[in-house]
Amino acid sequence: MHDNDLEPPRSVLRRFLEGEASGGLVLMAAAAFALVVANSPLSEAYFHALHVDLGPLSLAHWINDGLMVVFFLLVGLEIKREMLDGQLSTWPRRVLPGMAALGGMIVPALIFVWFNRDNPKVLPGWAIPTATDIAFALGVLSLLGSRVPASLKVFLAALAIIDDLGAVIIIAVFYTDGLALPYLAGAAVILALLILLNRRGVMNLTPYLVLGVGLWFCVLNSGVHATIAGVLLALTIPLRRAPGIRDDVRVSPLHRLEHGLSRIVPFVIVPLFGFANAGVSFFGLSGKAMTDPLTLGVAVGLVVGKLVGVFGTVALTVRSGLAELPAHAGWRQVFGVALLCGIGFTMSLFIGLLAFENDPALQSEVKLGILVGSFTAGVLGTLVLLTCGRSRPLTPAGGRPQP
């Protein structure tokens, strides 16, 4: 009898929480609920509640500048783990998703700029359609089951992680206000202490997290967006085992922290962010909003820009011999995944809020473009992948299926 035979059956809730698609489904539900509430008799209460002050910040700011730091902390942990000990740990593994991510950022940005070339006021939003929502996209892929080979899911995850890294750099460089040097100096000192803890081999997470709170406070007041503190903290968390222990990765501080955040981020923080920011009241939008260059720049950038940027770059990279297609994947499947990269929900919303922080009207158009573009990309990508046959491992003559 195997040990697994002795395990009690998992509950429906536990199976849902452990499913790859679950975080994306919860986020979809939160966004849909926000749209319903924003266009219901509860609309006024919904928007008023977001601007209620809770101490030094409003509720919306606590979510966007506070809780989302934890989201960026998890993003940073995933980037570091994949770069040092995962699918992006070697240059050959980085080439295809790296090139695809780069094309998937450049082309959407160019499309946005082309649509809005005559309106300098909205050009700061050029980065909005450059992002891919990893929870949404992987959620859709997981729902499609064996129609998508596992290698293509790994490719999409790697692409989205590199995409997130690009988004973090864009936020730090292009969406930073006037700098407050004393707070910036304080952040630098705390970051140096975190690096020192890492160099000294401190494996206890507590001092890292305590200093991380101080780092967040300094970055929040420095002019650099507060969420960058989460990424900086993640990069200092050790990814190694305790002395004398070889095989148990659970003692690695990075793995422990990543595991601890793997439920609260997708099932609490990101849905809260989606609910707080996806609400668009259609009562205040004119019919022209759908055809406004800002809305079109975001929507077309996500659907067409991501498709052309990702698929085109993959085709060029493979045809030039720099990389190979993911194992067992065909061009139609890559085409479908490139469409799914146009689901830009979470990070696109976040960048949109930064780009037009003091202009609610422009924010509403951005949200409309993101919702339309992400929905269109998701539906088209799903339809394309549904036309693909179920993936089967290749079998050599007279042999077993290859793993």
Q: Are 325 and 394 in contact (CB under 8 A)?
A: no
DSSP string covering 152-204: HHHHHHHHHHHHHHHHHHHHHHHS--S--HHHHHHHHHHHHHHHHHHHTT---
Nearest CA among 53, 80, 94, 30 for reference residue 270: 30
Cα dihedral: 148, 75, 273, 362 (round 10): -90
Question: What is the reported pLDDT for 284?
Answer: 64
Read off φ and ψ for residue 204, nearest 5 degrees.
-75, 130
Nearest CA among 311, 345, 341 for reference residue 329: 311
Measured CA distances, 47 to 276, 365, 371 (Å): 9, 16, 19
**CA 167-169-172 angle, 5° bins:** 110
Task: Report the C-alpha gap between 27 and 1 in whole angstroms.
Answer: 40
Each of the 403 residues of the chain gets a pLDDT tens digit; together they read: 444 444 455 554 455 445 556 777 888 889 899 999 999 999 999 999 999 999 888 999 999 999 999 999 998 998 898 888 877 888 888 899 999 999 999 999 999 999 999 999 999 999 999 988 877 887 787 777 777 888 888 888 889 889 988 988 998 888 887 789 999 999 999 999 999 999 999 999 999 999 999 999 999 999 888 889 999 999 999 987 555 555 445 568 999 999 999 889 988 998 999 999 888 887 766 667 788 999 999 999 999 999 999 999 999 999 999 988 888 888 999 999 999 999 988 889 999 999 998 888 899 899 999 999 999 999 999 999 988 865 544 333 333 333 3
Question: What is the reported pLDDT for 402?
Answer: 37
Task: Report the C-alpha gap between 142 and 162 in whole angstroms.
Answer: 20
Read off φ and ψ for residue 58, nearest 5 degrees.
-80, 170
Cβ atoms within 10 Å of 199's Cβ, excluding its own = 10
Question: What is the reported pLDDT for 340?
Answer: 94
Task: Report the C-alpha gap between 262 and 270 in whole angstroms.
Answer: 11
Task: Report the C-alpha gap between 229 and 231 in whole angstroms.
Answer: 5
pLDDT tens-place string over residues 261-320: 988 998 899 899 999 988 888 776 666 778 899 999 999 999 999 999 999 999 999 999
Cβ atoms within 10 Å of 146's Cβ, excluding its own = 11
Give the chain's radius of gyration (CA, Å).
Answer: 22
Task: Report the C-alpha gap between 240 and 242 in whole angstroms.
Answer: 7
Read off φ and ψ for residue 39, nearest 5 degrees.
-120, 30
Question: What is the reported pLDDT for 46?
Answer: 93
